[in-house]
Structure 1
Amino acid sequence: MAVRGADILILVNNVVVGGQQSATISESVETVETTNKLTNGFKEFEYGFGEWKISADGIYVTGDAGFTALKNAMRSKTKVTVRIREEGVDVEEGTALVTSRDLEGKYDDSATYSVELQGTGALTAVGA
């Protein structure tokens, strides 16, 4: 069954970041080259270290507790607990640093925000 994008929410310290319109959850892993003289002229690789990050944006809502938590965490350089919720169910969580926050106020449109979260440690299944 397909999941609607509108049904994926980002929570910070157990509070939904209000006004969210989109979120991109990215995971990647480095590779470590293990080529040697016995690999028959082909390079070989193993998995290295992994990382994850989240980019999100939305409509700025005055006094939103989730957005305020992100702003305060970045300014005080404290880590936040991030949860990913799909269709009302918390599915993954991890610890992250808030690495950027933008607030844009165009004269002819709604004020919008964007944030970048850099995961530290693993992103794991909730309840695992």
Structure 2
Amino acid sequence: MVSKRRALRTAVVGVLGAASLALAGTAMAATPATPVAHSAAPAAAQQAAAKAAITAKPSVSTVNAWQLFRVTGQTTGLKAGSKVTLQQKQHNQWVSLPASVNTSRTGSYSLGVKLGLKGKNDLRIVSGSTASPVFNVTVR
């Protein structure tokens, strides 16, 4: 009786093992020859880059020349500790100013700024290819 049970158990395990191999062979036959992981990785990177964003809010809208003010904001989709830099539009080109700071581990930042160019200044915060919406500060 014991040997019949052992034989039955062995037969069931053998059938299950054969079924597993058959299913694995079917799955492998259905898998396309070109790897999908390679085409999915750039798409995931593009989605992550598309989700990156920066907000920016100046503490004032009007300042005297060389008066200190702050720009604060939040980043999303960027690595903690990423460098953010203030840019100013000069002659229809964005110029990076010597005002930058690393984001906190939560993605926030606070940047002290002094501007000397009188008039309306178009400004933005950038990190790599990600930029905040343009904001304005008028210097008297």
Scaled by the length of structure 1, the TM-score of the pair is 0.33
Greater RCO (CA < 8 Å, at least 6 residues apart): 1
Bigger-Rg structure (1/2): 2
Normalized per residue, which structure has more helix? 2
Scaled by the length of structure 2, the TM-score of the pair is 0.31
